[in-house]
Amino acid sequence: MLKKLLVCSFLCAHASSVYAMQEEFIDPTRITKVPCQTQNKKGMNFNDLGPFEQEFLRYCRELEISESPEVGNILFLGEAYGRLPMRVGSEIASGLSKLFVNELSAENLQHLAKKLGIMKESGVIAGAQLADRMNLIIGDCLDLPNNEKFTRSFGNHIVDNCFDAIMCSNVLHFFDGEQVLKFFCNAFNFLKPGGEAYIFTQSREDDVSEKEMYTRRQNKTSVYIKTCFGVMEAAKKDPSILFPGLINEEWLCKTQLLNNILLGKPNGLCTFNYIPATTLQRFAHQLGFEVASKKFYSIVQEGDSIKTSEDNKGIYCGLILRKPEGYTGGHVTMETLDPAFVESCLTAKEKMKTFIDTKLNFLDQYPFVKSKE
């Protein structure tokens, strides 16, 4: 998605009224100025392509497209209204690549479906060809190996080694530990040897403190944000916790102040996972990815537009992972990975809930959360 200004649960709790009203039909090629909020009110489609998306676009242009049906497949995961797939498709309009666009919400994806229908009926050959190359897949991106509409596009319904490129932007931080593990397994299996996965998520380098993170945000006095970052600051000191930023908002209802903030959220309580860069790299290592690039970014609002810029102390990470050329190791599953690492992923949610319940005190005044003596 770039689709979010802040941690999406943070953003939607305090969203400006400029995000409240959307057009009945959202044209993914004409998102201008104010970001478009997704139908579940937890995500955004921005009007600008950020530098990470631009890098992905360049990679797609450079892909060697042949007449083989197994060459040139591009997969977009959690793409909301489909702004980026439309841009990529228009940039490589003369190619034979197939674009697979996945989105959990049918309500979101119907806007892209309507746009493609308009293009087919327009009589413009290039537009009709792009619409024919675009495959819309509704459903959970983690369950794609079992999604009939997705798998039937490939021989024997096997989707391993089928994609040259994968893009997943602003999705990973909604997943718990087990879901993150499933995501990385799927991405590795889907890619052809030499293929690349582009992952954009909320993260940070280890030398960027939680205090610096929340002072760099627009809403600098948010009790909720400071509480969450205080939890992360305490949890990252425990080496047994792989996901110190994994928080279910229900776990934070410890004081009257937090209850008033959280229980009044219009989009309900949710789970988010602010994943440290070191944890992302551990996943890359465990799966066998090569880390082609790791950069950090900041997202700021300038007037009615959202701008993304490279920033070593930014709170978003753009990670490019490459499946090694000549890989012959076969299908990756939880059973083929290091058991201790898998266990740390499967128990991540339970560990963080226990940590919050037993190791922290919550206060009605700053610092709002403190480690127990």
pLDDT 10s digits, 100-152: 999 999 988 998 999 889 888 887 777 888 888 899 999 999 999 999 999 99
pLDDT at 26: 74
Residues 229 and 121 reside in one and the same domain: no
Q: Which domain holds residue 220?
A: 210-272+349-371
Q: Can the peptide bond before residue 367 be classed as cis, meaning omega within 30 degrees of 0?
A: yes
Q: How far apart are CA 281 and CA 291, in angstroms?
A: 8
| The pLDDT of residue 210 | 65
Q: What is the pLDDT of residue 93?
A: 63
Average pLDDT of the segment spanning 242-257: 94
As for how many domains the chain has, the answer is 2
60 and 128 co-located in one domain: yes
Q: At 23, list the tokens.
A: 């057009």
| Alpha carbon distance 105, 35 (integer Å) | 18
**Claim to verify: residue 257 and residue 233 sit in the same structural domain:** yes
| pLDDT for residue 64 | 57
Same domain, 153 and 235: no
Q: What is the H or E stretch that residue 271 is in?
A: strand 271-273
Select from 130, 118, 117, 64 the least CA-distant residue to 91: 130
- Is the distance from CB of 271 to CB of 247 less than 8 angstroms? yes
Q: Is residue 74 part of a domain?
A: yes
In this predicted structure, the answer to whether residue 74 has a pLDDT above a threshold of 90 is yes
Q: By the 8 A CB rule, do 169 and 84 touch? A: yes
Q: Is residue 125 part of a domain?
A: yes
Question: Is there a domain that residue 109 lies in?
Answer: yes
pLDDT tens sequence across 21-37: 344 767 666 655 555 55
Query: From CA 321, how far away is CA 298, in angstroms rounded?
Result: 21
Q: Give, for 280, the enclosing helix (H) or strand (E).
A: helix 277-287
Share of the chain above pLDDT 90, in %: 54
Q: What share of the chain is helix, strand, coil (3-state, %, to 5)?
A: 40, 20, 40
pLDDT value of position 130: 86
**Cα(346)–Cα(335) distance, rounded to whole angstroms?**
13
Do 282 and 199 reside in the same domain of the chain?
A: yes
Give the β-pairing of 163-169 and 191-202: parallel
pLDDT grade for 299, boundaries at 50, 70 and 90: confident
As to burial, measured by CB atoms within 10 angstroms (0-12 exposed, 13-18 middle, 19+ buried), residue 23 is exposed
Residue 85 resides in a domain: yes
Q: Is residue 366 part of a domain?
A: yes
Domain check: are 279 and 267 in the same one? no
Q: Which residue has the tokens 């127990």?
A: 372
51 and 133: one domain? yes
How far apart CA 202 and CA 188 sit, in angstroms, is 21
Q: For position 137, what pLDDT does the model report?
A: 96
Q: Round the average pLDDT of the chain to a whole number and report it.
A: 84
Ranking 3-7, 85-89, 261-265 by mean pLDDT, the lowest is 3-7
- What CATH number should be reported for the domain holding residue 23? 3.40.50.150
In a domain, residue 315? The reply is yes
State the pLDDT at residue 42: 55
